[in-house]
Structure 1
Amino acid sequence: MRCATIDGVTDILDDLQWRGLLQDSTDLDELRKHLAEGPVTFYVGFDPTAPSLQVGNLVQVLTARRLQQAGNIPVLLVGGATGLIGDPKAEGERSLNSEETVAGWVDKIRRQVEPFFEFEGANAARMVNNLDWTSPLSAIEFLRDVGKHFPVNQMLAREVVKARLESGISFTEFAYQILQSHDFYQLHERYGVTLQHGGSDQWGNIIAGVDFNRRKGVRGVHAFTTPLITRADGTKFGKSAEGMSVWMDAGMTSPYAFYQFWFNAADADIVNYLKVFSFRSREEIEELAKETAERPFARAGQRALAEELTTLLHGKDECEQVITASQALFGRGALTDLAPSTLRSALAEAGLVEVDELPSVAVLFKESGLASSLGEARRAVAEGGAYVNNERMTDADAPVSAELLLHGRYLVLRRGKKTIAGAELRK
């Protein structure tokens, strides 16, 4: 893992502030002093409520990475206990998942998070599961030793709880805040954790953990939150153009789709995204911002961020395959250089139609959506704007040759310079 571009441990807060990554804090001046006296052992938690984290979770993953690169010690919690309950959400009560399901998701999320951190050296990261200290608690111990310290009036003041009071909230979800607060205390006692960070929607839970530590006699604990990321147009961050969630798991969102999510970011969003998600220096980001403003068609900021994050999450080789695919689909590279998995992912993102046999060019273009009718498909061919595997087609009614199939089953269809689709021969 590369070293950060931060000039010392005390500069980390300045860097986070410049990147817009500080929203709430217990006491910023005290936190700055605490970090200056470091290294500080801190924690961030992830609940396994799905088999993968989403791109929104990258804010916390990368913030923790920045803190480690500044010399601090991460404790990374994957909530095998809290994942069995789920933090309350405004929409209504969560469905409870089985212990086996949650345990499986814990393992998957641990594997997703681990590559972002160093687990050796003076500030080695530690991975923990809150089920380890929550499971042995009896109900009496939980109520007497933990629940006794939580005033119900303060718990009721949390926004999401107030929103749920009319529609109803179970004691299970209501008590989630107590479990998360107990995690902070246990991590302080076991590993010396004195700082927690999370998203701003977690501020109520986080500050409750700070208060619980103080009620248990612990002093000098701190917390901060990062703002929730939104698009400039007000729409929710973390969804693709089709409205699908963008996941960190390659089996749920392909590396190609992950790359395209960042590459297709709006110019109005990209500078903010670079600050939040990139490890480039301020000077580098300001230069990319200038280039984006002056030459938006070049998509320099989007390209830089897409390459950086795809490499970080999926590896250099996979990123290179994705870039090769992006170029080859539009005739700027050899389609035969693409691995079958990368090619299929790219075509699925563009729009992939399955066929039982190879029809004519016109039929393929109609079925793939590149033409609204056979007549329109024939006109595209006649005008020289129809391509199969980057070869210009001249006979609209001729069947596509099986020799054109890539890896024995795929065809790349292109109309003009920019409109792509794909076809897959069923086996």
Structure 2
Amino acid sequence: MANVFDTLQERGFLKQTTHDGLKEMLGREKVKFYVGFDATADSLHVGHFVQLMAMAHMQRAGHVPIVLIGGGTTMIGDPSGKSDMRKMMTREIIAHNADRFREQIGKFLDFSDGKALMVDNADWLLDLNYVEFLREIGTCFSVNRMLTAECYKQRLEKGLTFFEFNYMLMQAYDFLVLSRKYGCTLEMGGDDQWSNILAGADLIRRKEQKEAYGLTITLLLKSDGKKMGKTESGAVWLDPEKTSPYDFYQYWRNVADADVKTCLSLLTFLPMDEVRRLSALKDHEINDAKKILAFEITKQVHGQAAAVEAQTAAEALFGSGGAGGSIPTTQISAAELAEHPQLLDIMIAAGLTKSRGEGRRLITQGGVLLNGEKVTDEFASLSEADLAGGGAMIRKGKKVFHKIILK
């Protein structure tokens, strides 16, 4: 039986591990591991989805996930990767968000027959005696060492409150509690959690005199190094009420060619031989890989029926024939595109706007989308690449669609 460590490594999940021995342990015994999710919003987003997929691979290999809902740590807010202190939230809002997380995570992991656990750190953090906590836990932490942690270093110039400074102790204490109550030996999390994970593993070694391991998961980044999962209209959420299955499908259908392999590897269960075959496709054929990518991810998050519906709607709008045949279409030659590449000129030629002034107003008011992405630059231009895969779709307002294709 393959070691899940090799699976995670081959698919690109692994970023850092605390020390040697983790791979051997994962191949030798059933391991209880945890990932924490602070309830800072009322839905998970695609960044969380990467971690859920890593957990699913672990569970499929026979290991036991512990989902830790951060009902307690959300009261403080993780300073990692933040230039300012997080907005403080009420217990009621946090509890509501935690309930929504529970609903969503239940779609990705099997919680039957003890195959996975879900716990809330509010159960042990909110009633802590602060002085006793400092005596037991605070004495194990060096302030000098904490200040070298990346999650704090980047905040020191702008200002780091003592309130937030406690976060690392809280997260480390979570690992200790889960170790004592459930025999948890591994913490997993995004690579921005490295300092906090190290702190938890070290705390267990100090307090329990036993090994504890940490593993960080690569962040979902585009080929240009920017975080994936952001659009002009905001984050790509897993909640269908916040990001519709159609928009979700379209987001993945329109990823850059260079990002196809990363997304197929991290966000689908397709065998790696198939991932390599699809990501090796070039030119127009890469669009076939993107369709498979979009369908597989949408199916994973929203279910088979929603994925089929989203795919059908996309084909109707962007495909040729069928319902798509009723969509107004303008053909332009490569020479015409080269001479007049600006989107405004093309919209005028297609009859979508009467003048450049009207077109500019539409764009500045957020009323124009190109291939599912909001246009914010009034001087935006189209290239032949934008028209690849069956043409470019311009949407004006909510209901007016127009396809631009090359002759």
Q: Which runs of 5+ in 2 are unaligned?
A: 325-345, 359-389, 400-407
CA 1:263–1:366 in 2, change beyond 3 Å: closer, same or farther? closer
Residue in structure 1 matched with residue 150 of structure 2 by the alignment: 159
AA aligned to 2:297 is: L
Deviations 1:3-61 (A, max 9, x none): xxxxx2x5211111111211111124x00111122110000011111111111111111
**SS of structure 2 residue aligned to 1:144:** helix
Residue in structure 1 matched with residue 29 of structure 2 by the alignment: 38
Aligned counterparts of 1:208 and 1:39: Cα–Cα separation in 2: 24
Query: Which residue of 374, 395, 401 corresponds with 1:421?
Result: 395
Residue in structure 2 matched with residue 23 of structure 1 by the alignment: 15
Among the aligned pairs, what percent are the same residue?
39
**SS of structure 2 residue aligned to 1:216:** helix
Aligned counterparts of 1:275 and 1:424: Cα–Cα separation in 2: 34
Aligned counterparts of 2:305 and 2:133: Cα–Cα separation in 1: 49
AA aligned to 1:373 is: K
Q: Is 1:301 equivalent to 2:293 in the alignment? A: no
AA aligned to 1:157 is: T
Residue in structure 1 matched with residue 92 of structure 2 by the alignment: 100
Deviation of 1:297 after TM superposition, in Å, equals: 4.1
Q: Is 1:135 equivalent to 2:126 in the alignment? A: yes
Question: Contact between 1:329 and 1:420, CA under 8 Å: does it hold in 2?
Answer: no
**SS of structure 1 residue aligned to 2:177:** helix
**SS of structure 1 residue aligned to 2:137:** helix
Residue in structure 1 matched with residue 270 of structure 2 by the alignment: 280
Aligned counterparts of 1:205 and 1:423: Cα–Cα separation in 2: 45
**SS of structure 2 residue aligned to 1:419:** strand
Residue in structure 2 matched with residue 66 of structure 1 by the alignment: 57
Alignment of 1:110-121 (within 5 A): 110-121=102-113
AA aligned to 1:12 is: V
Question: Contact between 2:352 and 2:396, CA under 8 Å: does it hold in 1?
Answer: no
Aligned counterparts of 1:370 and 1:133: Cα–Cα separation in 2: 63
**SS of structure 1 residue aligned to 2:214:** strand
Aligned counterparts of 1:176 and 1:158: Cα–Cα separation in 2: 12
Deviation of 1:213 after TM superposition, in Å, equals: 0.5
**SS of structure 1 residue aligned to 2:235:** coil
Aligned counterparts of 1:20 and 1:142: Cα–Cα separation in 2: 38
Alignment of 1:278-427 (within 5 A): 278-290=268-280, 292-293=281-282, 295-330=283-318, 332-334=321-323, 371-373=352-354, 418-421=392-395
AA aligned to 1:204 is: S
Deviation of 1:149 after TM superposition, in Å, equals: 1.4
Q: Is 1:222 equivalent to 2:213 in the alignment? A: yes
Deviation of 1:417 after TM superposition, in Å, equals: 6.1
Residue in structure 2 matched with residue 193 of structure 1 by the alignment: 184
Aligned counterparts of 2:119 and 2:55: Cα–Cα separation in 1: 15
Residue in structure 2 matched with residue 253 of structure 1 by the alignment: 243
So what's the TM-score if we normalise by structure 1? 0.76
Deviation of 1:184 after TM superposition, in Å, equals: 0.3
Aligned counterparts of 2:303 and 2:117: Cα–Cα separation in 1: 22
Deviation of 1:136 after TM superposition, in Å, equals: 2.2
Please report the RMSD computed on the Cα atoms of aligned residues, expressed in angstroms: 2.5
AA aligned to 1:258 is: F
**SS of structure 1 residue aligned to 2:14:** coil
CA 1:235–1:164 in 2, change beyond 3 Å: closer, same or farther? closer
Aligned counterparts of 2:33 and 2:141: Cα–Cα separation in 1: 23
Deviation of 1:152 after TM superposition, in Å, equals: 1.0
Deviation of 1:97 after TM superposition, in Å, equals: 0.7
AA aligned to 1:222 is: Y
Aligned counterparts of 2:65 and 2:175: Cα–Cα separation in 1: 13
AA aligned to 1:276 is: L
Question: Contact between 2:3 and 2:26, CA under 8 Å: does it hold in 1?
Answer: no
Residue in structure 1 matched with residue 72 of structure 2 by the alignment: 81
Question: Contact between 1:271 and 1:301, CA under 8 Å: does it hold in 2?
Answer: no
**SS of structure 1 residue aligned to 2:36:** strand
Q: Which has the larger radius of gyration?
A: 1
**SS of structure 1 residue aligned to 2:216:** strand
AA aligned to 2:152 is: V
Alignment of 1:224-239 (within 5 A): 224-239=215-230
AA aligned to 1:320 is: V
Question: Contact between 2:204 and 2:211, CA under 8 Å: does it hold in 1?
Answer: no
**SS of structure 2 residue aligned to 1:256:** helix
**SS of structure 1 residue aligned to 2:107:** helix
Deviation of 1:233 after TM superposition, in Å, equals: 2.4
Deviation of 1:92 after TM superposition, in Å, equals: 1.3
Aligned counterparts of 2:47 and 2:124: Cα–Cα separation in 1: 28
So what's the TM-score if we normalise by structure 2? 0.79
CA 1:51–1:370 in 2, change beyond 3 Å: closer, same or farther? farther
Question: Contact between 2:74 and 2:94, CA under 8 Å: does it hold in 1?
Answer: yes
